[in-house]
Structure 1
């Protein structure tokens, strides 16, 4: 499993990986369901799991699997519960954990006014760090995302490369 730095709710730096996301979101499954107004039956169908499994997860007797949590992030990405856990773009966090980094140019963002801290600016590009997940991304002056990673050194190298092109 991939491991990355993550600052937990009490400010301690721990390792973020697939298991961390599963743990964080499994405990929030019921909150997301209630937030969206779904019954257990409907939520189980949406996530592709049995109602029995959903109940076990909600009661804390078991954790959801990685694919269930990825599905929840994708299907409920606008959930305040999920955004408060992983940041404004939970899909970006999950994608970055799964692939180590995301190098896909020209995806428009909101500019990072709430969830992002500016790390460095260079040649029309800005390196930002997510205040919740602690991952990095590079956006241009029009707020298009070019790159995401948990590795600060890799992000700074990519910033250098982009600003010189």
Structure 2
């Protein structure tokens, strides 16, 4: 995924997100920090949200089932991966990949998985905490080999 794709998803779904949360265009503009005219333009498909607005919407509506469905999980994680290429740090506890994830490999409770929608990779520890994420298959395999060697 890249910025343009993320912007497109958010722009295409802005009206639905707004209505699901019972916000008027005025309130949505206030919450996101843009003008009402901008909200109207994006909702009518005449313009796309800019990157900053897209990040704000993803952060504010992080738990949205709609965004999670389109991104295959946490929209903020996808934004972090788009900007940083790789994240290596303990993250939130996951459900273990029962939905939207394919196990590529398992070793002593650790899992290397690939998201079925966004196609990014992650490594979970034995308690299903996300340790690592990337879109790069080679980097994911290298990290997986390091885990197999050290555990």
TM-score (norm 1): 0.86
> Which runs of 5 or more structure 2 residues have no equivalent in the other structure?
none
Q: Which runs of 4+ in 1 moved over 4 A?
A: none
Alpha-carbon distance, 1:23 to partner: 1.1
* Alignment correspondent of 2:31: 46
1:93-151 deviation line (CA, Å, top 9, x unaligned): 11111111111125321211112111111243111111110100000120011100001
Alignment counterpart, residue 44 of structure 2, candidates 48, 54, 59: 59
Alignment counterpart, residue 151 of structure 1, candidates 112, 122, 136: 136
CA contact (8 A) 2:90 2:132 kept: yes
- Name the SS for the 2:89 alignment partner: coil
Q: TM-score, normalised by structure 2?
A: 0.94
How far the C-alpha of 1:88 sits from its partner, in A, is: 2.3
Q: Which runs of 5+ in 1 are unaligned?
A: 1-15
Determine the C-alpha separation between the residues in 2 that align with 1:87 and 1:43.
24
SS of structure 1 residue aligned to 2:102: strand
Instruction: Tell me the C-alpha RMSD between the 2 structures.
Output: 1.2
Could you say which residue in structure 2 is the equivalent of 1:11?
Answer: none
Q: How does 1:74-113 map to 2 (within 5 A)?
A: 74-113=59-98
Q: Which has the higher strand share?
A: 1
